[in-house]
Structure 1
Amino acid sequence: MRSYVSTVLVLGWALCTSSAFAPAKLASQIDLLQSNEQSTTTSLHAMTLYGSQGSRSPLVNWAANELELDLEMAGDLGRNPHPFGQIPCLTDDGDIMVFESGAILQYLQAKSKGDVAPDKSAAISSWISWANASLDPICFLETPDGKVYDTGLKSQNKRIAKLDDLLSDSSYLVDDEFSLADVAVASYLLYVIQFFPDVDLMRWPNIVEYMKACASREGYGKAFGDRVQGYCVSRLSEMQKSGGKEKKLFGVF
């Protein structure tokens, strides 16, 4: 701010000593300086995501796309402020830091411009938490040291069956409208068919249709890329046509 004021004073003196001086000219130059400074400040404190395509961070990009929030990708992951150095991690307004994908989604929901009724907001938050706490361990089975070795979606599961039942008369999870609840839940389900391409999900036909609808969204394609989107939509369509009997031995990764 001090440099800006000094520049204005110098500019004013220079213009005042010029034969071509006019008050309007000085005002226009000051407006230009103010605009430039505001632009620089916004850039320095823009919402920034530390992440990569090979991680869970694209689901954060998907959420930002759906909410029409501006989100910059960090150029240097070495400056990631996450206490354990993991991604995704979000910074905002210079001194705000949020980590864990579920927490980031809830932060974005709170930051969005749209007015969301308290009951709907509570439902969205609940589904985001459920995706991280309950769905993730079903989708990805891990060894004691945290390495994923399989998916729990290769066999019957009561919670997944209940989810399929809920989707039998609703296209999306909250008020039959797409929300960040669907970003959270659908992201994990769609990751499964990317990493385990031979998985058979047609025992839950409503979930397959739900996954296909979510993967077909423009915001998903922008976040995950055309290749991933095309693979997911194609794979789910094949499941529906074959009734889950055909197995694919290759995936997107």
Structure 2
Amino acid sequence: MNSFLLATVFLQFASALTLYGHPGTRSPLCNWGALEVGIDIKMGDLSKNPHPFGQIPCLTDDNDVLVFESGAILLYFLDKTKDKLSPSEAAAIQSYIVWANASLDGICFLETPDGKVYDTGLKKPNKNIDKLDKILEKQPFLASDQFTLADVAVASYLLYVLQFFPGVDISRWPYVKAYMKDCCIRPAYAKAFGEKVQGLLLSQLESEATPKKLFGVF
């Protein structure tokens, strides 16, 4: 196969993934994950969003693949890139992605019976976050000594708290706070969420000042 055909095949593969999402929702964490693992995606027309419940984020791939929910999308990215990982690393990343959606979400965001977020559980002590702090005391990242999709999943929720509830005091978890800063400062985070969001979050993580609220609760 000549170089032109190889380039054509590559471009077809690179453009096969389409993400339906919007800033101010959970979809930028999918953009972040894709950037970190080198997966090319394009943004889809929201009027054509194929999510069965009409929500975002939603991802399509070739061969009629449809993936919805942010955690499932990160797991799909993991499946496409796990050949670069050891079995233990892949398993750990998968576990943390599921934990972020199944447990951390409910800690970070307290909801009314009809599903509206009204507060964050990070305003009070929490045994699970205590444990997370102890884990991060011993290692810089969660599933490996390198940043992975596990950190995209967990750090996204933690950083979303500061977006929607600016000024929350997380100093009782110093290693979690340092971890959040290390994740937020990454170039791919700025590209996915915007440099303005990154700058305002870093200002919170570096000082006790309360910055302006970025946008409404999702």
**Per-residue deviation at 1:45?**
6.0
Equivalent position of 1:232 in the other structure = 201
Residue 175 (1) aligns with residue 175 (2): no
- Please give the per-residue CA displacement for 1:33-78, whole angstroms capped at 9, x wherever unaligned: x85xx47x8289610000001110000000010011111000x212
CA contact (8 A) 1:45 1:94 kept: no
Distance in 1, matches of 2:203 and 2:145, equals 24
CA contact (8 A) 2:15 2:42 kept: no
**Per-residue deviation at 1:115?**
1.6
Residue 65 (1) aligns with residue 35 (2): yes
- Return 41-50 or 130-139, whichever deviates more: 41-50
Matches within 5 A, 1:33-44: 38=8, 42=12
- Please give the per-residue CA displacement for 1:147-177, whole angstroms capped at 9, x wherever unaligned: 0000000000000111011111111001221
Question: Match of 1:60, as an amino acid?
Answer: C
Matches within 5 A, 1:47-196: 47-74=17-44, 76-112=45-81, 114-196=83-165
Distance in 1, matches of 2:84 and 2:178, equals 29
Q: Which has the higher contact order (CA 8 A, sep 6+)?
A: 2
**Per-residue deviation at 1:198?**
2.3
Distance in 2, matches of 1:207 and 1:120, equals 21
Residue 248 (1) aligns with residue 210 (2): yes
Residue 46 (1) aligns with residue 13 (2): no
CA contact (8 A) 2:57 2:68 kept: yes
Identity of aligned residues (%): 58
- Please give the per-residue CA displacement for 1:179-205, whole angstroms capped at 9, x wherever unaligned: 000000000000000100121000001
Distance in 1, matches of 2:126 and 2:16, equals 42
Size of the aligned set, in residue pairs, is 214
Structure 2 vs 1, CA of residues 127 and 158 (structure 1 numbering), >3 Å: closer, same or farther?
A: same
Q: Look up the SS of the partner of 2:207 in the other structure.
A: helix
CA contact (8 A) 2:203 2:211 kept: no
Q: Look up the SS of the partner of 2:176 in the other structure.
A: helix
**Per-residue deviation at 1:250?**
2.9
Distance in 1, matches of 2:24 and 2:169, equals 23
Distance in 1, matches of 2:125 and 2:15, equals 47
CA contact (8 A) 1:89 1:97 kept: yes
From the CA coordinates, give the structure whose radius of gyration is larger. 1
TM-score under structure 2 length normalisation: 0.91
